[in-house]
Amino acid sequence: MTELSHAAKAILVAEAKSRCLREERGCHPTDSDWNGCWICVHRKGVAAALRAAADQVVPAPRLPYDSCCDVHASAIRAELLAIAIELETQ
């Protein structure tokens, strides 16, 4: 597997921990060894959740930007969507 960014890896670790605990699979991945529970993680589902969060929390701003807050929100949205793309493609 290609090395994931720190942000993508952190999201997958959180999802793996959450899913394993909910389903009582007995696997408890750590931040350094999340691959032990890869079967519990559905990357496309996590990516879809990130896209939905981006749409709800930082929706696409109007153009032209009205303020510096729009620029900041757009940057946050771009980061969330970049992580989603990374999870879908790796």
pLDDT digits (tens), the chain, 90 positions: 568 888 988 888 788 777 665 555 555 555 555 555 555 567 888 899 999 999 998 888 777 777 788 888 888 999 999 999 998 887
The answer on 49 and 15 residing in a single domain is no
Tell me: do 83 and 48 sit in the same domain: yes
Residues 80, 46: one domain?
yes
Q: Are 30 and 70 part of one and the same domain?
A: no
Identify whether residues 37 and 67 lie together within a single domain. Answer: no
Backbone angles phi, psi at 29, to 5 degrees: -65, 145
Q: How many domains does the chain have?
A: 2
Tell whether 36 and 62 lie within a shared domain: no
Q: Does residue 29 share a domain with residue 56?
A: no
